[in-house]
């Protein structure tokens, strides 16, 4: 490992890319702490700490995978998620709109045009999200806005423009990393935001650990600490395995005779990823479940107010209709909380649904079969064309079932451990869910890019010997 790091700085091109990437991430972290004008940061921090309801859950969830922080209302508060959301929207539209599909097939020129549309859509999404957030901060009764700016157009304009400009700057940083750095800029920015919270999680664990037998229930004893560390190692290893896991379909290239020479005939494989949808199914499912979580908080408040009203007045018994509604609202509020049995079951079902949905959008067996046929290749035992497409679709359906099951386990691990051991969800989020999957996949991609740069110049890589040693990198999928 040390030799590989030294080799990186021996190669001028790779060294410059790595230093440029690190510089862009430093700029991102600086902007992460620049506050919005007019917002009382101390009062906002206190306000968000008391928000144990839907808003607090949404703020924490958004902060996990956006690279932003609405809990401090900084310049980069919205994160890079509006840009990613716009890219996902156009990716989905390209499958249903013929005009966008034609642009996608035009190659680099078409992709550049779609990228331009994505930037415009990002600005629109930022303005909408910034308007909602500024409106919430301005309308809060906790004096989150300085009195001299409350109700002024300057506060609204500076807040909306600041949040929008912050996301545009992050988008620009990500594109610069793609162009001049290591690559995968947007994902690296999100990962940097996730990893920056590790010291706080370690501090929480150190503060709440008692290395004595029979520790208090709200403290981490030796057994809980060992279980926490073991779970982290096990789940991280599982994430690496499922991220790299592949089903390799053998592909045979047809032989062509030209004169006295025979060309082709090579045998290769078509890699089908087990977790083809990546982290998107968890993001979609979590985002959709935020709606019933918000509704459950409102229902709980309504039920408590109705019960308190009849309990205080006491003159009239609660009407049967009101009692039914109150009971229903209380049941809904109790069962649609993170860690509740019904919530976790629906969460798992939604992950399966979105795993198949996203795989259907991303994986096009018909196009793959056409490309194989046009290139003179075929899968042994299958005729090129529709038969090959049916086979690929059937294989992808089976391996997606396994990948979705793994995603479901990873997604529910944080809330289950948090409820069972009484550990803060902020800490257990590193044992699974969106944050861990994003971090593992991005770090693996980062290491592979560095590995490729080293191996191209006959240097020993991180995970194996270079070409001179006769071995390639050891990041391999199933059966690799």
Domains of the chain: 1-196 (1.10.3370.10)
C-alpha span between 101 and 93 (Å, rounded)? 8
Structure tokens at 309: 């009203």
Nearest to 28 by CA among 164, 157, 191, 198: 191
pLDDT at 268: 84
Helix axes 54-66, 81-93, angle to 10 degrees: 80
Q: Share the mean pLDDT of the chain.
A: 79
231-242 pLDDT tens trace: 888 888 888 888
Q: Are the beta carbons of 75 and 107 closer than 8 angstroms?
A: no
pLDDT along the chain (480 residues), means of 10: 75 88 90 83 76 56 60 78 84 83 83 90 90 83 80 88 91 91 86 82 82 72 83 84 86 75 76 84 78 64 62 55 66 71 87 89 86 85 87 91 88 80 75 76 85 73 52 46
Q: Which residues lie closer than 8 Å to 366 by C-beta, 6 or more apart?
A: 389
The pLDDT value given to residue 313: 46
Those residues whose C-beta lies under 8 Å from the C-beta of residue 265, and which sit 6 or more positions away, are 252, 253, 254, 255
Rounded CA-CA distance 77/65 in Å is 12
């Amino acid at each position: 490992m040390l030799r590989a790091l030294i080799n990186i700085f021996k190669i001028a091109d790779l060294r410059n890319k790595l230093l440029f990437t690190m510089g862009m991430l430093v700029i991102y972290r600086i902007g992460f702490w620049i506050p919005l004008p007019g917002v009382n940061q101390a009062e906002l921090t206190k306000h968000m700490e008391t928000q144990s309801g839907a808003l607090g859950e949404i703020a924490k969830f958004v902060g996990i995978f956006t690279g932003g922080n609405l809990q401090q209302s900084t310049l980069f508060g919205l994160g890079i998620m509006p840009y990613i959301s716009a890219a996902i929207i156009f990716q989905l539209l390209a499958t249903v709109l013929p005009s966008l599909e034609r642009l996608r097939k035009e190659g680099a020129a078409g992709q550049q045009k779609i990228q331009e549309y994505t930037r415009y859509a990002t600005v629109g999404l930022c303005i909408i999200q910034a308007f909602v957030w500024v409106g919430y901060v301005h309308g809060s009764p906790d004096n989150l806005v300085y009195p001299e700016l409350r109700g002024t157009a300057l506060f609204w304009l500076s807040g909306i423009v600041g949040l929008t400009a912050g996301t545009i700057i992050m988008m620009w940083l990500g594109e610069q990393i793609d162009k001049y750095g290591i690559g995968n800029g947007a994902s690296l920015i999100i990962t940097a935001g996730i990893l920056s919270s590790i010291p706080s999680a370690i501090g929480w664990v150190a503060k709440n650990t008692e290395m004595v037998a029979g520790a208090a229930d709200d403290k981490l004893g030796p057994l809980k600490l060992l279980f926490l560390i073991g779970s982290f190692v096990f789940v991280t290893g599982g994430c690496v395995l499922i991220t790299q896991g592949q089903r390799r379909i053998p592909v045979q290239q047809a032989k062509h005779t030209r004169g006295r020479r025979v060309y082709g005939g090579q045998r290769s494989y078509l890699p089908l990823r087990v977790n083809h949808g990546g982290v998107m199914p968890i993001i979609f499912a979590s985002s959709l479940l935020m709606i019933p979580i918000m509704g459950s908080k409102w229902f709980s408040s309504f039920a408590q107010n109705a019960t308190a009203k009849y309990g205080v007045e006491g003159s009239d018994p609660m009407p049967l209709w009101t009692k039914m509604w109150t009971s229903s609202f209380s049941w809904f509020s109790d069962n649609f909380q993170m860690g509740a049995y019904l919530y976790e079951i629906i969460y798992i079902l939604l992950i399966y649904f979105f795993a198949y949905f996203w795989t259907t959008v991303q994986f096009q067996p018909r196009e793959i079969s056409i490309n194989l046929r046009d290139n003179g290749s075929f899968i042994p035992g299958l005729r090129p064309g529709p038969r090959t497409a049916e086979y690929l679709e059937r294989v992808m359906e089976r391996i997606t079932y396994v990948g979705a099951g793994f995603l479901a386990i990873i997604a529910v691990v944080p809330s289950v451990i948090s409820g069972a051991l009484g550990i803060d969800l902020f800490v257990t989020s590193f044992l699974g869910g969106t944050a861990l999957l994003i971090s593992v996949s991005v770090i693996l991609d980062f290491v592979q890019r560095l590995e490729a740069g080293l191996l191209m110049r006959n240097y020993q890589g991180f995970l194996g010997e270079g070409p001179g040693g006769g071995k390639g990198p050891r990041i391999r999928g199933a059966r690799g």
